[in-house]
Structure 1
Amino acid sequence: MPPVMLPAYTFDFSWVQGSLPIFLQAAFLTLQILIWSAVLSVLIGLITGQMLMSRHAWLRWPARVYVDFFRLTPILFQIVAIFFLIPIVFEVSVPAFTSGVIALSLNFGAFFAEIFRAGVQSIDKGQWEAAESMGMPHVKTLVRVIYPQAIKRMLPPIGNMLISLTKDTSLISVIGVAELFNTAQNVGAGTFRQIEVLLLVSLFYLLINLPLAINAERLNRRMNVAR
Structure 2
Amino acid sequence: MTKKVLITGGNKGIGLEVAKIFVKLEYEIYVVGRDFNEFELGGLPNVTEIEADLTNLDNISEIVKTVGDIDILINNAGFMQPHISYDKYTSQERENMMNVNLYAPVELMNEFSVGMKKQKCGRIVNVASIAGQIGHPDVWYGIAKAGLINATKIYAKLLGGDGIVVNCIAPSPVETDMQKSNSKERIEEFKKTVVTHRFARASEIARTIVWLAIGSPEYINGTCIDINNGAYPR
Same fold (TM over 0.5): no
Q: Which has the higher contact order (CA 8 A, sep 6+)?
A: 1
Say which one has the larger Rg: 1
TM-score normalized with structure 2 length: 0.26
Q: Which has the higher strand share?
A: 2
Q: Which has the higher helix share?
A: 1
